[in-house]
Amino acid sequence: MHRRTALSVSAVLLAAAPLLTACSGETRPGTAAVVGGERITTSALQAQVGDVRAAQDKSEQGAQLIGATAGLERLKLNKMIQSAVLERAAEDAGLSVSPKELQDVRKAQLEQLGGEKALRDAALQQAQLAPGQIEADTRFKLLRDKLFAHYGSQDKALAKLGEAAKALHIEVNPRYGRWDAQQILLGDQETPWITQRTRPEQAAPAGA
């Protein structure tokens, strides 16, 4: 892996999981997955889950939301891994997302949904996103849509995502399921690569 690419993957994982630590690829206690030579710790994963559970607890529909998200650990780990794969594929294609693009989508979301509280409620209820996870989800969707547009077809883009995933040598703790290299996802999680694609100005939080 080239140094620039390695740093890019490390940056996105660090953004999603502050407790991520360097790893040489060996299995270590407390490891949820190894992606591109970096390990996602179980504590980092639990931090993602804990933020969502805390937000759900504060919701009027808290009990219902918690009951409907029993598989939240796997869902979050799937998204953390796929985010690293997407960052690698986007960098290989020379694609990026600017702060202004993120701000424009945020503004559109607020206008569409009617304010900050409505946006947070929609993100939590529809996509299992805590308030602090909304921007990363927006970045994910913008990069994904740019990648699909860049290659002109879903098949080509998915092939490039598959190449990126292979280059990252992904390993997942069996506790969280099996990594499906062909579908580029963890176990039976739904893939966000094809579904829920929207134009940025119409985007609402979707797909954790």
What pLDDT tens digit does each residue of the chain (208 aa) get? Answer: 444 444 444 444 444 443 333 343 444 679 999 999 999 999 999 999 999 999 999 999 999 999 999 899 999 999 999 999 999 999 999 999 999 999 999 999 999 999 999 999 999 999 999 999 999 999 999 999 999 999 999 899 999 999 999 999 999 999 999 999 888 999 876 666 765 444 433 444 544 4
Are residues 44 and 18 in contact, defined by beta-carbon separation less than 8 angstroms? yes
CA distances from residue 139 to 12, 67, 87, 197 in whole angstroms, order as listed = 10, 28, 10, 13
3-state SS assignment for residue 38: strand
The domain ranges of the chain are 3-202
